[in-house]
Amino acid sequence: MSVNRHPNTQGVTIKQWRYTATGGETTLSGTDGFSQSLTYTPGAEEVFVNGVLLVRGTDYTASTGTTVVLNNALVAGDIATVSAPSVFNVANSIPSSTVTAKGDLLVANGSASLTNLAVGADGSTLVANSSAGGGVSWAGPQFVAGRNKIINGDFGIWQRGTSFSNSGNYTADRWYWDSDATVTISQQAFTAGAAPVAGYEAPYFFRIAKSAGGTYVATRQRVEDVRTFANQTVTLSFWAKANATVTINPYYQQNFGSGGSTTTGAFIGSGFTLTTSWVRYSATVAIPSVAGMTIGTGSYLEVFAGRYVGSAATTIDIWGVQLEAGSVATPFTTATGTLQGELAACQRYYWRTSVASGYGLFGFGYGTSGNQAYVNMNPPVTMRTVPSSILDLSALSTFYWEGSAAGNTPTSLAYNTNSTPSMLQVTVVKSGSFTSGGTCALYSYNQAAYIGFNAEL
């Protein structure tokens, strides 16, 4: 027999099991005279004998859900009643077991129907997706330009060459190195399909090959303006491997520029132990505020990524360097997200003009005397500042000029202080070869010819 105490609503029903004793029974179980089986939730039952409520644990034991054991046997004609509320579900409740892991989401998969959407990969983005069962799905990795403040973090741009052994120089664009040991920095090509991150097929990585001896080797990049990431938590991430187990210790510095406050810095993370396989490493650091600091010209945030202290011979390979706000290493992207954008970003700091093939023109100019001419060259992007007075040059024998006399190799080429960040000028020196105010062209037939302008920090 069942009684619904709230007949007009969904809720608890009270099931009564009723039994007339024949005498001597101490156990109640089975089917009563109304075809009702004895079932109950232990602890929720009420047991009556002749209308008197018995005391649980004193007068009876009810632990199985299907039997009740009485301490005193019934006598013939006693009426034993077990009253048990039904198990019920609250309408429209969501079982907590629907989600199974940290980050899981509940999403609707139809009208009044919910399902679990498992957490996405780090850095992925939730997007609407009508094809997905839940109407949304995780998309990623997302390559978002502008998040990474490291320029040429994928080592795709190498204007200055592909192998370097003179300490204290730039290598791949924006990447400077120095060491007191014998070191060769070189461009290395990935085997197609072997780049360490899915979805980003990079052509090159950066190799530091250090011979035994010396005490350190460091590669660094200066991010323009010390205000960058000031008072923010940032995450440095990169992929790396080595010829043997080796530990590198990335470091950062805040340099406040000429006339600015004293440089400060700290380690990023507590060191990364590289193995012989590509592994992505990351560490988070809080960059101090610049409040109260004096910021001069040419300030920067400097990141030493491949920094090894020790005398052992070691080969360290690095790729995919990223410095971003926040405490999560999100999927790698270059600073600009495009090849042309990354080249332009590099050329803000260094521009090398060269001869691609055959005849190549560097620029036109005008004679200022019989012995020299000024030749103008437009950089493809406005440089960070007026370039250094130091020109990178190929051998003079690779250049030719055309002026008032027959073309010939110049005696010298020099930086001209008339240069601006958006118009560069070179002085071509050759005795008795020009006319003041006359036109001059600087060109080459040699593919080795180049002129480089430096506006690095």
Partner 1 sequence: MEPTFFDVTNIDGSTTAFVLIDLGNGNFQSMPKSVYDTLPSNSSTPQAGE
Q: Give how many residues touch partner 1 by CB under 8 A.
A: 38
- For partner 1, the closer of residues 276 and 411 by Cβ is 411
C-alpha dihedral sign at 55, 61, 67, 71: negative
Give the span between the Cα atoms of 14 and 84, in whole angstroms.
Answer: 6
- For partner 1, the closer of residues 81 and 255 by Cβ is 255
- For partner 1, the closer of residues 196 and 387 by Cβ is 387
Residue 409 engages partner 1 in binding (rule: CB under 8 A): no
Contact call for residues 427 and 436 (beta carbons, < 8 A)? no
- Which of 41, 66, 129, 411 is close enough to bind partner 1 by CB under 8 A? 411
Q: Is 273 helix (H, G, I), strand (E, B) or coil?
A: strand
By CB under 8 A, the residues from 177 to 236 that bind partner 1 are 178-179, 218, 220
- For partner 1, the closer of residues 276 and 412 by Cβ is 412
- For partner 1, the closer of residues 1 and 448 by Cβ is 448
- For partner 1, the closer of residues 178 and 224 by Cβ is 178
What's the min distance (Å) between Cβ of 438 and partner 1? 15
- For partner 1, the closer of residues 289 and 411 by Cβ is 411
Buried b (16+ CB within 10 A) or exposed e, 75-96: eeebebbbbbbeeeeeeeeeee
- Which of 22, 98, 162, 166 is close enough to bind partner 1 by CB under 8 A? 166
Give the span between the Cα atoms of 214 and 383, in whole angstroms.
Answer: 36
Strands (DSSP E) contained in 112-194 are 113-117, 125-128, 136-139, 163-164, 169-170, 176-179, 183-189
Over the window 300 to 339, marking each residue x when it contacts partner 1 by CB under 8 A and - when it does not, the resulting string is --x-x-----------------------------------
In 3D, which of 130, 133, 75 has the Cα closest to residue 105? 133
Give the span between the Cα atoms of 272 and 253, in whole angstroms.
Answer: 19
Residue 96: CB partners within 8 Å, gap ≥ 6? none
Over the window 359 to 398, marking each residue x when it contacts partner 1 by CB under 8 A and - when it does not, the resulting string is ---------xx-xx-x-------------xxxxxxxxx--
| Segment contacting partner 1 by CB under 8 A, of 29-37, 77-85, 148-156, 174-182 | 174-182
Beta bridge partners of 300: 224, 255
Place of tokens 């019920």: 88
What's the min distance (Å) between Cβ of 202 and partner 1? 27
- Which of 223, 345, 413, 424 is close enough to bind partner 1 by CB under 8 A? 413
What's the min distance (Å) between Cβ of 409 and partner 1? 13
- For partner 1, the closer of residues 64 and 397 by Cβ is 397
- For partner 1, the closer of residues 19 and 351 by Cβ is 351
Q: How far is the CA of 344 from the CAs of 51, 110, 175, 337, 382, in angstroms?
A: 93, 49, 15, 12, 9
Q: Cα(first)–Cα(last) distance of the chain, in Å? A: 89
By CB under 8 A, the residues from 233 to 262 that bind partner 1 are none
- Which of 22, 27, 215, 418 is close enough to bind partner 1 by CB under 8 A? 418
Residue 376: CB partners within 8 Å, gap ≥ 6? 363, 364, 365, 423, 424, 425
What's the min distance (Å) between Cβ of 446 and partner 1? 10
Over the window 427 to 446, marking each residue x when it contacts partner 1 by CB under 8 A and - when it does not, the resulting string is x-x-----------------
C-alpha dihedral sign at 179, 181, 184, 190: negative
446: tokens are 């040699």
What's the min distance (Å) between Cβ of 104 and partner 1? 47
In 3D, which of 410, 400, 401, 394 has the Cα closest to residue 449? 394
What's the min distance (Å) between Cβ of 372 and partner 1? 6
288: tokens are 């101090």
- Which of 51, 168, 432, 437 is close enough to bind partner 1 by CB under 8 A? 168
- For partner 1, the closer of residues 245 and 397 by Cβ is 397
In 3D, which of 84, 119, 87, 83 has the Cα closest to residue 101? 119
- For partner 1, the closer of residues 66 and 165 by Cβ is 165
| Segment contacting partner 1 by CB under 8 A, of 96-104, 143-151, 164-172, 343-351 | 164-172
Give contact residues for partner 1 (rule: CB under 8 A): 166-170, 176, 178-179, 218, 220, 302, 304, 368-369, 371-372, 374, 388-396, 411-418, 427, 429, 448, 456
